[in-house]
């Protein structure tokens, strides 16, 4: 499978290069696969749903901009569509800019922000209705949406939180469940036609990773920080080498969470759009016969990836928290005792320790 995908990407890269529109092609509106793919996976100030009959069905979102000394400006992004300028603002490659080049702070409701609000509202509606159903059906078997989501909640509790965190798992369950369902729901929403690529946005995954970093370090006990700043069980001089390594590890763990989720979701979108683009690049029935089945296969595979990435992010988060709250108990190691005593006493107790180990 990996070899097949590698071969496809090579062919697509060659085809995209061969089909790169010239200046004449651009004027005639030639198909540019790179532009289409980047437009889909990136953010925008409007929500383009689809095109039909020569018309674009677009939802224009509010632009909220602040300029030092000029105040706040609020208007519809429709005024900036098709490279237009409005109130001294313009869009360059999707970024809000001032015509005079002055500093602009963009607080607009972009496509990803709107998608975030929609998914958050959906999560609130789903789980509020579930909570009310539990109150109405106290002591009864779950039904409907309860019966579908309850096994997932129990799985996160028993197989992720309890095993990774231990006895203190309950206080972290709200965050773990929120992270899991937020990522899962947005991964699925991102696969629907016309939807936003929210979890494929590096800013969103970075924020999730930062929250995990804060919770992990705030929850860390004295043993957690002792292992970072003065690692026990290692020679004295080696502790000075372990200190920067452990400090780097604090940042690397959430960084891996951020990149893993972003890269996997974005790669799935790019592969699907690449298969679809082959139809418009080669413009032959044979390209359609190959692209559509492969595109459908990757889309079905992405349904599994959507759930898998939510699980992996939640599991690693629980493991990091578990490592911070765990109270470490070091087993008695005669070799370590031997080395420590030798450093402390200058070797005067070597014979006694050796005799003790023999007994």
Q: How far is CA 136 from CA 130, 142, 154, in A?
A: 10, 11, 20
CA distance 87 to 354: 84
Instruction: Examine the domain organization and report whether 118 and 105 are in the same domain.
Output: no
| Within a domain: 315 | yes
Residues 92 and 214 in one domain: no
Please say whether the dihedral angle defined by the alpha carbons of residues 283, 288, 294 and 300, taken in this order, is positive or negative.
Answer: positive
Q: Are 199 and 222 within one domain? A: yes
Domain span at 68: 47-109
CB 233 within 8 A of CB 336: yes
The per-residue pLDDT for 328 is 59
Q: What is the mean pLDDT of each run of 10 residues along the chain (359 residues)?
A: 44 40 44 81 85 79 91 90 86 87 91 93 93 86 85 94 93 95 95 88 94 92 80 78 85 92 93 88 83 89 94 95 76 42 41 39
Separation of alpha carbons 305 and 264, rounded Å: 8
Whether 92 maps to a domain, the answer reads yes
Task: Give strand pairing partners of 52.
Answer: 55
Residues 96 and 166 grouped into a single domain = no
Residue 308 has a pLDDT of 95
Laid out side by side, the sheet with 71-76 consists of: 71-76, 62-67, 105-106
Round to whole Å and give the CA distance between 182 and 11: 36
What is the per-residue burial (b if ≥16 Cβ within 10 Å, else e) of 17-27?
eebeeeeeeee
Q: Which of 37, 39, 272 is nearest to 48 (CA)?
A: 39
| 336 located within any domain | no
Q: Kindly state whether residue 117 falls inside one of the protein's structural domains.
A: yes
* 229 and 133 together in one domain: yes
Tokens of 323: 């490592």
> With left for phi above 0 and alpha for psi between -120 and 50, is residue 166 left, alpha or beta?
left
Quickly count: other Cβ atoms within 10 Å of residue 252's Cβ: 11
Please report the pLDDT score of residue 29 as a whole number. Answer: 52
Residue 32 counted as domain residue? no
Q: What is the reported pLDDT for 230?
A: 77
User: Helix, strand, coil % (nearest 5) of the chain?
Assistant: 65, 10, 25
Q: At what angle do helices 236-282 and 33-41 cross, to 10 degrees?
A: 130
Measured CA to CA, the distance from residue 279 to residue 33 in angstroms comes to: 10
∠ CA(271), CA(186), CA(291), 5° rounding? 20
- Domain boundary (55, 80, 109) is at 109
Same-domain check for residues 85 and 163: no
| Same domain assignment for residues 87 and 190 | no
Instruction: Give pLDDT, residue 30.
Output: 66
Q: What is the 3-state secondary structure of 178-240?
A: HHHHHHHHHHHHCCCCCCCCCCCCHHHHHHHHHHHHHHHHHHCCHHHHHHHHCCCCCCHHHHH
**Is residue 167 assigned to a domain?**
yes
pLDDT at 18: 37
Given 90, 109, 128, which residue is the final one in a domain?
A: 109
How does 32-70 read in b/e, with b if 16+ C-beta sit within 10 Å?
bbeeebeebbbbbbbbeeeeeeeeeebeebebebebeee
Last residue of a domain, one of 88, 109, 130: 109
How far is 163 from 322, CA to CA, in rounded Å? 9
Residues in the chain: 359
| Number of domains the chain is built from | 2
Is position 184 within any domain? Answer: yes
State whether 55 and 192 are in the same domain: no
* pLDDT at res. 329: 56
Q: Tell me if 111 sits within 8 A of 76, measured CB to CB.
A: no
Residue 208 domain flag: yes
Q: What is the pTM of this model?
A: 0.79
80, 207: one domain: no
Residues 164 and 310 placed together within one structural domain of the fold: yes
92 and 162, same structural domain? no
Do 161 and 58 lie in one domain? The reply is no
């Amino acid at each position: 499978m990996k070899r097949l995908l590698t071969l496809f990407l090579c062919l697509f890269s060659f085809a995209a290069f061969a089909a790169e529109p010239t200046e004449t092609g651009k004027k005639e509106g030639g198909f540019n696969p790179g532009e289409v793919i980047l437009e889909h996976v990136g953010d925008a100030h409007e929500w383009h749903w689809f095109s039909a009959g020569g018309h674009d069905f677009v939802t224009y979102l509010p632009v909220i901009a602040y300029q030092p000394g000029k105040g706040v400006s609020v208007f519809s992004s429709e005024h900036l569509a098709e490279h237009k300028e409005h109130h001294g603002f313009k869009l360059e490659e999707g970024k809000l800019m001032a015509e005079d080049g002055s500093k602009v702070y963009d607080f607009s409701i972009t496509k990803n922000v709107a998608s975030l609000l929609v998914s958050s509202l959906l999560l609130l509606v789903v789980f509020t209705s579930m909570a009310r159903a539990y109150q109405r059906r106290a002591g009864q078997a779950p039904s409907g949406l309860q019966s579908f989501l309850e096994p997932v909640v129990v799985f996160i509790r028993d197989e992720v939180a309890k095993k990774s965190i231990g006895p203190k798992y309950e206080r972290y369950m709200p965050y773990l469940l929120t992270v899991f369902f937020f990522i899962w729901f947005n991964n699925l929403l991102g696969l629907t036609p016309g939807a936003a690529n929210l979890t494929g946005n590096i800013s969103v995954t970075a924020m999730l990773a930062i929250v995990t970093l804060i919770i992990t370090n705030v929850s860390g006990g004295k043993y957690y920080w002792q292992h970072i700043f003065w690692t026990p069980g290692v020679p004295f001089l080696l502790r000075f080498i372990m200190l920067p390594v452990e400090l780097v590890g604090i940042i690397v763990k959430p960084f891996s969470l951020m990149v893993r989720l972003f890269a996997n979701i974005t790669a799935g979108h790019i592969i699907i759009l690449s298969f679809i683009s082959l139809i418009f690049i080669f413009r032959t029935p044979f390209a359609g016969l190959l692209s559509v089945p492969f595109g459908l296969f990757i889309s079905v595979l992405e349904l599994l990836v959507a759930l898998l990435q939510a699980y992996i992010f939640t599991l690693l988060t629980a493991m990091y928290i578990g490592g911070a709250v765990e109270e470490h108990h070091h087993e008695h190691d005669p070799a370590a005792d031997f080395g420590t005593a030798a450093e402390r006493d200058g070797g005067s107790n070597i014979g006694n320790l050796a005799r003790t180990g023999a007994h």
